[in-house]
Amino acid sequence: MKFISLVEEMKTVRDYKKEPVDSSLIQKVIEAGNETRGIVKSQGASIVFIKNGKEVYSELSGKAGYYGKMIEAPHYLAIVSKPYPNFQENSGYIMEWIRLKAWEFGLGTCWLSMEDDVELKKKLDLEEDEVVTALIAIGHPYSGIFKTDISPKSGRMGVEDIVYLQNWENSCSVEYLDSRGLTNIFYYTKFAPSWGNKQPWRFIIDKEKVFLVVNKEQQKSMKIDAGIVMLYFEKASHEEGIIGKWRLDVEEVMGKRYHIPEDYELIGYYSI
């Protein structure tokens, strides 16, 4: 399935059927994550399947969840990694790709934030320098009549609200994006999930480069959110025929050049 079709269809799932997912289907999802190139070359990161969801749900209640509420699912998937340059961005990118492929295979998923990962580290028997960088619930969606959506409603900012031209003080018009064939790319990029669906990312177009900056307010999730939105931008660009790759080796001085506010961090750029 094309990326834009997945974006249009995919929903976050918070209610799951209790029966386990066939192991071959789970393996297909994991293989999709292992095969993606990510943003940078992975150095020791691994995708871990947590089979006994009922046990983990009990152990992580109050310590992980969606808006503070742990989601009960038959299984969970985690990305475990030792720290390396840009490992958090990489984890966000890979896990969101896993979510998209899971949806394509008929499964539902939900991002889970971790307030305290000590119990999960014990459960997975991790080494001292290993961390759980990303966690999702996964299973067959359940849509019974007695289930209700527990998530708050969230709107989406328009393309003109998230894109700047040449510097932070100059909003980019849709007309300009149309003239460069970029409107669809940013349209689908803005549907990238983020912590609290706050859309903490902004973009600055300067000639043949698109710079990504992310709000620092949610330090714990900032780089995961950056990785997720980089996936959306890259995949949407590829479908528009703009084949490129994110570069994260940016100089801090560029922040001043583009008048980026102090509460935002420059992450990297994509050549268009």
Write the pLDDT tens digit of every residue in 19-28.
999 999 999 9
230-266 b/e (C-beta count within 10 Å ≥ 16 → b): bbbbbbbbeebebebebebeeeeeebeebebeeebbb
Q: How far apart are CA 64 and CA 82, in angstroms?
A: 20
Residue 101 lies in a domain: yes
* pLDDT-based confidence at residue 68 (cuts at 50, 70, 90): confident
Residue of higher predicted confidence among 122 and 216: 216
Amino acid at 99: R
Residue 223 lies in a domain: yes
The whole-number average pLDDT for the span 71-93 is: 95
Are 200 and 101 contained in the same domain? no
Average pLDDT, the chain: 91
Does position 148 have pLDDT exceeding 90, yes or no? no
User: The domain that contains 98 carries what CATH number?
Assistant: 3.40.109.10
Identify the sign of the CA torsion 138, 139, 141, 144: negative
Q: Which domain holds residue 181?
A: 159-271
State residue 144's pLDDT score. Answer: 66
State residue 153's pLDDT score. Answer: 42
Angle formed by the axes of helices 87-104 and 23-35, nearest 10°: 140
Residue 147 lies in a domain: no
Q: Kindly report the pTM of this predicted structure.
A: 0.93
Angle formed by the axes of helices 87-104 and 219-239, nearest 10°: 60
Q: How far apart are CA 45 and CA 136, in angstroms?
A: 16
Strand 163-165 versus strand 201-206 pairing type: parallel
State residue 152's pLDDT score. Answer: 45
For 145, counting Cβ atoms within 10 Å of its Cβ (0-12 exposed, 13-18 middle, 19+ buried), the class is: exposed
The whole-number average pLDDT for the span 11-16 is: 94
Does position 99 have pLDDT exceeding 80, yes or no? yes
State residue 151's pLDDT score. Answer: 45
State residue 155's pLDDT score. Answer: 62
Are 110 and 237 contained in the same domain? no
The whole-number average pLDDT for the span 60-73 is: 89
Put the strands of the sheet holding 75-81 in their side by side order.
46-50, 75-81, 131-139, 108-111
Does position 178 have pLDDT exceeding 50, yes or no? yes
The whole-number average pLDDT for the span 110-124 is: 86
The whole-number average pLDDT for the span 73-85 is: 95
Residue 160: how many other CB atoms lie within 10 Å? 14
Residue 17 lies in a domain: yes
State residue 260's pLDDT score. Answer: 94
Amino acid at 81: S
Are 124 and 171 contained in the same domain? no
The whole-number average pLDDT for the span 87-116 is: 95
Distances (CA, A) of 60 to 57, 212, 222: 5, 33, 22
